[in-house]
Amino acid sequence: MSVVFHEKSGEFHLFNDEISYIISILPNGQLGQLYYGKRLRDRESFEHLQEYGMRSMVAWVGGLGRRDVSLELLKQEYPSFGSSDFRNPAFEILQENGSHVSNFRYVSHEIISGKPGLSGLPATYTEAPEEADTIVFTLFDEVTQVELKLNYTVFRDYNAIARSAHFENKGSQTLKLNSAMSFSLDLPGTEYEWMQFSGAWAREREPFVKKIGSGVTSVESMRGCSSPNQNPFVVIRKPGTTEDCGEAYGVSLVYSGNFLAQAEGDTYGQTRVMIGINPRGFCWNLTPGEVFQTPEAVVVYSAQGLNGMSQNFHELYRTRLARGYWRDRERPVLLNNWEATYMDFDEEKILNIARKACEAGIELFVLDDGWFGKRNDDFRGLGDWFVNTDKLENGISGLSRKITEMGMRFGLWFEPEMVNEDSDLFRAHPDWILATPGREPSLGRNQCVLDFSRKVVVDAIYEMMEKVIADSDITYIKWDMNRSITECYSAAYAANQQGEIYHRYILGVYDLYERLITRFPEILFESCASGGARFDPGMLYYAPQAWCSDDTDAVERIGIQYGTSYCYPVSSVGAHVSVVPNHQILRETPLETRFNVAMFGAFGYELDITRMPEEEFEEVKKQVAFVKQYRKLIHTGTYYRLADPFATNEGAWMVVSQDQKEAIVMYSRILIHPNSPVKRLKLKGLNPDLEYRIEAPRKKEVSRCGDELMYAGLITTEPAIGDIGEAGADVYTDFYSKVYVLKAN
């Protein structure tokens, strides 16, 4: 991997073994985009890839004496507003005199081994300088006296480019930064498809595909969090791209607040793709000396289809975005009491569940909502992070010690960013919430949002949390966030700073995470936001796993986890076995299927294990042992999507070990049909020359070669319905699934 500067042509070639990204300096000093895609052989100039030409009715750049230089027609890196380009800009600066026009000209560049961090913001990182090269371009706008730094990192081992922008006002004008995207890329052609991941509470990240064509296609969040409705991740792909072949650009924002992802097909046959903080509701005061750093965007180019794209994101995000003690450690099998007890528990009830969980081999007990303040329902208590001794007479310290003595770890739920009006915290500090003067704040789940843009508020919450954690044996925290932000206004800031509050809020969240991680480096954090409302790369930097969805129904989860897998690694996907009928949708699914789906995640149970029939409990013991045996493979193996549950009656995926000697396949058939057709599932990523033993519950062990399994397929046909009950036959119902373990001889 390298960054090469061709002095004569003024071009920059960023490349690794697989990809090339080529930048030029345009005649007006701005940065132009020449190429991004499959690796090209390096040469002095690729200038011919930029098409200059005089066209009628375009505006050309002033002062150059050239009529063939119109920004409207040129592919650019970080386009500005208000000059000869009429497409959406990557940023916009408002001057004191009312002008919105800027022109950032190349001044210099610096090539750095490795990757510098971003202060206060989550970002991918390197562990050794040889893992990546970074080029930092310095550009300057004479009129506003603003310096712009554009950062690009090319990784050695991933087909990924990380980008961000940094503004600094070096002049004396008070400027306003009205928008500042993290990433903008002009691609040739408009024949692209757009893939977005949309949903709502309990049905997060369903893939949707549209044609881009001419005009703007976008998704965004204005909820103060990345949201369950849209994810800060989109795919731009060539028509015909499949899971296994074809070109795809995955565009991901390492940020947890409001965002905008957009593609604009222009009428000259180019497509501008961008992602960053949503400009709506955003305005940063760039006063003299002030800086603004955008969040980071990561873009992965794949010539090996969508699976190839996802695998790059998985590896990069699992190993160079997630951090800390738990990054590479096997995650504990947990039991969470939420669906078991909700808020109705006392110490005895909890200890009984924990004892039984321990007997099953479960390693971590998580006490969810309801342990603090007067929290007996969701109308009160949030903000009062001290134990309710009516429920837990020995406090969290006493309970956690008893559970630790059993041989299990103990984890605790917090919702640090929220407060109920019925709480001591709110009574003491009614002005600590986000609320617009003179208007009633909207409530969500009966709660208000604390003003995390204020250090005093973050400090107070830190102190309360720090005390509980320091006094107890806590090795895991579930950090929840259960409502969108409304009336985003801070009483502590001036009128002209209100456009900063959404972003300052998220910076406050990151700050609290960072402080807690620094103080308690061995705690495993799991982020949560009513399930998956803040399932984004920003959170992964602090919490290596996230509760994927409040929907624990196994069939729903096949889709949710399948959609989530387009960007996020299996190790980040919190997934639990819960009871039937399922609490969200009342469906009854076999225990085996609930397990088969949840094991492809950061695995646990969320049920009252003391109420389980004995034979199910025995099954659970086997499941826990199975996960312990295979979790490393499941979390670190290469993941392939095999069958799309949104398009068919089946859902399937698999992981393959790095050495291709082991693999685990999950195959599910949602609804049963009588006398069903023959089925074959073509496996992926195996070594064609190896012979694999295939183990599956209630199936005779067989051996098959890798080539046969990939090219002819694994036979998953069920016998005709009349065969049910025959010795050795499987149990066929709706919501059937099977896990196959493959081991090479």
Quick one: which H or E segment has residue 618? helix 614-636
Cβ at position 334, least distance to ligand GLA in Å: 12
Question: In this complex, which beta carbon is closest to ligand GLA, that of residue 105 or of residue 583?
Answer: 583
Contact present, 84 and 59 (Cβ < 8 Å): yes
Residue that is written with structure tokens 């107890």 in the block: 472
Cβ at position 352, least distance to ligand GLA in Å: 20
Question: Mind spelling out the 3-state secondary structure of 387-440?
Answer: ECCCCCCCHHHHHHHHHHHHCCEEEEEECCCEEECECHHHHHCHHHECCCCCCC
Give Cα 626 distance to the centre of its chain: 27
Question: In this complex, which beta carbon is closest to ligand GLA, that of residue 141 or of residue 480?
Answer: 480
Contact present, 424 and 384 (Cβ < 8 Å): yes
Cβ at position 477, least distance to ligand GLA in Å: 12
Tell me which stretch binds ligand GLA (CB under 6 A): 428-436, 528-536, 638-646, 717-725. 528-536
Cβ at position 368, least distance to ligand GLA in Å: 5
Show the CA angle centred on residue 412, arms to residues 408 and 415, nearest 5°.
165
CB-count exposure of residue 259 (10 Å: 0-12, 13-18, 19+): buried
Cβ at position 613, least distance to ligand GLA in Å: 25
Question: In this complex, which beta carbon is closest to ligand GLA, that of residue 451 or of residue 480?
Answer: 480
Cβ at position 446, least distance to ligand GLA in Å: 11
**Joined tokens for residue 72:** 């409207």
Cβ at position 29, least distance to ligand GLA in Å: 50
Strand partners, 160: 300
Using the rule CB under 6 A, which residue among 193, 550, 551, 556 binds ligand GLA? 550
Give the C-alpha distances (Å, rounded to integers) separating 390 from 180, 370, 386, 393, 465: 51, 11, 12, 6, 20
d(CA 717, CA 677): 7
Contact set for ligand GLA, span 47-76 (CB under 6 A): none
Cβ at position 501, least distance to ligand GLA in Å: 24
Question: In this complex, which beta carbon is closest to ligand GLA, that of residue 202 or of residue 634?
Answer: 202
Q: Is 222 helix (H, G, I), strand (E, B) or coil?
A: coil
Does residue 488 interact with ligand GLA by CB under 6 A? Answer: no
Question: In this complex, which beta carbon is closest to ligand GLA, that of residue 310 or of residue 482?
Answer: 482
Tell me which stretch binds ligand GLA (CB under 6 A): 61-69, 188-196, 323-331, 526-534. 526-534
Tell me which stretch binds ligand GLA (CB under 6 A): 288-296, 505-513, 527-535, 558-566. 527-535
Does residue 413 interact with ligand GLA by CB under 6 A? Answer: yes
Using the rule CB under 6 A, which residue among 12, 345, 541, 547 binds ligand GLA? 547
Question: In this complex, which beta carbon is closest to ligand GLA, that of residue 155 or of residue 338?
Answer: 338
The most distant pair of C-alpha atoms in the chain lies apart, rounded to whole Å, by 87
CB-count exposure of residue 628 (10 Å: 0-12, 13-18, 19+): middle
Using the rule CB under 6 A, which residue among 369, 526, 650, 662 binds ligand GLA? 369
Cβ at position 487, least distance to ligand GLA in Å: 22
Question: In this complex, which beta carbon is closest to ligand GLA, that of residue 279 or of residue 574?
Answer: 574
Question: In this complex, which beta carbon is closest to ligand GLA, that of residue 45 or of residue 341?
Answer: 341
Question: In this complex, which beta carbon is closest to ligand GLA, that of residue 243 or of residue 368?
Answer: 368
Does residue 531 interact with ligand GLA by CB under 6 A? Answer: yes
Q: Is 105 helix (H, G, I), strand (E, B) or coil?
A: strand
Cβ at position 543, least distance to ligand GLA in Å: 14
Count of residues near ligand GLA by CB under 6 A: 11
Cβ at position 550, least distance to ligand GLA in Å: 5
Of 85, 266, 368, 550, catalytic: 550
Question: In this complex, which beta carbon is closest to ligand GLA, that of residue 231 or of residue 482?
Answer: 482
Using the rule CB under 6 A, which residue among 338, 345, 410, 535 binds ligand GLA? 338
The closest of 394, 499, 485, 402 to 442, measured between CA atoms, is 485
Using the rule CB under 6 A, which residue among 16, 530, 564, 623 binds ligand GLA? 530
Cβ at position 530, least distance to ligand GLA in Å: 5
Question: In this complex, which beta carbon is closest to ligand GLA, that of residue 441 or of residue 444?
Answer: 444
Q: Is 519 helix (H, G, I), strand (E, B) or coil?
A: helix
Tell me which stretch binds ligand GLA (CB under 6 A): 525-533, 538-546, 628-636, 711-719. 525-533
Give 545's Cβ-side CA count (13 Å radius): 31
Is 480 in the active site? yes
Contact set for ligand GLA, span 116-145 (CB under 6 A): none
Of 141, 480, 536, 551, catalytic: 480
d(CA 602, CA 621): 17
Tell me which stretch binds ligand GLA (CB under 6 A): 63-71, 138-146, 432-440, 523-531. 523-531
C-alpha dihedral, 323 to 125 to 148 to 276, nearest 10°: -50
d(CA 667, CA 671): 13
Which residues, including other chains, have CB under 8 Å from residue 737's CB and lie 6 or more apart?
Answer: 554, 590, 592, 593, 596, 597, 666, 667, 668, 669
Write b or e for each residue in 11-44: b if 16 or more Cβ atoms lie within 10 A of its Cβ, otherwise e: bbbbbbebbbbbbbbbbbbbbbbbbbbeebeeee
The torsion region of residue 8 among left (phi > 0), alpha (psi -120 to 50) and beta comes to alpha
Which residues, including other chains, have CB under 8 Å from residue 647's CB and lie 6 or more apart?
Answer: none
Strand partners, 732: none
Does residue 337 interact with ligand GLA by CB under 6 A? Answer: no
Question: In this complex, which beta carbon is closest to ligand GLA, that of residue 273 or of residue 412?
Answer: 412
Q: Write the binding mask 447 to 486 for ligand GLA: x where contact by CB under 6 A, - elsewhere.
A: ---------------------------------x-x----
Tell me which stretch binds ligand GLA (CB under 6 A): 524-532, 556-564, 582-590, 728-736. 524-532
Q: What share of the chain is helix, strand, coil (3-state, %, to 5)?
A: 20, 30, 45
Please give the residue whose beta carbon sits closest to ligand GLA in the complex: 369
Bridging pattern class, strands 215-221 and 146-155: unpaired
The DSSP letter of residue 666 is E
CB-count exposure of residue 644 (10 Å: 0-12, 13-18, 19+): middle
Contact present, 596 and 737 (Cβ < 8 Å): yes
Cβ at position 675, least distance to ligand GLA in Å: 41
Residue that is written with structure tokens 């000209």 in the block: 105
Contact present, 382 and 447 (Cβ < 8 Å): yes
Using the rule CB under 6 A, which residue among 363, 368, 451, 650 binds ligand GLA? 368
Amino acid at 577: V
Dihedrals φ, ψ of 486, to 5°?
-125, 170
Does residue 204 interact with ligand GLA by CB under 6 A? Answer: no
Question: In this complex, which beta carbon is closest to ligand GLA, that of residue 547 or of residue 735?
Answer: 547
Residues at the site binding ligand GLA, with contacts judged by CB under 6 A: 338, 368-369, 413, 480, 482, 528, 530-531, 547, 550
What residues are labeled active site?
480, 550
